[in-house]
Amino acid sequence: MATVKQLQTTLKLTFGLVPIVAGLDKFTNLLTNWVDYLGNNKGMIPFDPLLFMKIVGIIEIVAGIIVLVRPLIGAYIVMIWLICIALQLLIGGGYYDVAVRDLVMAVGAYTLAQLTKINTEGAR
């Protein structure tokens, strides 16, 4: 049976590495054309959407690093970030499947935060 520490470590690696990979891909577009996810909101951005996505990529890389170094704080940052992405996708009028996926991932990030609390309290 997996321990709280093992579950916490698995989620920490997941929510640390996935944002870093997604953030790096904002510079290469190997996984997808990220600008497409802006949908109808492209006109609301006061500068080039590609530049905007690179800024998003930097934020995601930093968030992933924070999860790896400070999982409790990082998990909440990633959770909020995923909720914001899901809301943007819903408002943008498309990619509803991705919005739902991001909301489910936000629940996973919240679970990481709670497991980290339990693991920290158990170490005292």
The pTM of this model reads 0.88
What's the total number of domains in the chain? 1
Here the tokens at position 11 are 């989620």
| pLDDT (tens digit per residue) in 37-59 | 777 777 788 889 899 999 999 99
Residue 123: band (very low, low, confident or very high) from pLDDT cuts 50, 70, 90: low
Check residue 111 and give its pLDDT.
97
Quick: pLDDT tens for 7-44.
Answer: 999 999 999 999 999 999 999 999 988 888 777 777 78
Q: Are the C-beta atoms of residues 118 and 11 closer than 8 Å to each other?
A: no
List the one residue out of 69, 78, 66 whose CA is nearest residue 109: 78
User: Which residues form the domain of 18?
Assistant: 4-123
CA distance 24 to 60: 8
Tens-digit pLDDT profile for residues 71-109 = 999 999 999 999 998 998 888 777 899 999 999 999 999
* 39 within 8 A of 95, measured Cβ to Cβ: yes
| Euclidean distance between CA atoms 12 and 72, whole angstroms | 9
CA 50, 95, 91 angle in degrees (round to 5)?
Answer: 80
What's the pLDDT at 122?
A: 63
pLDDT of residue 55: 94
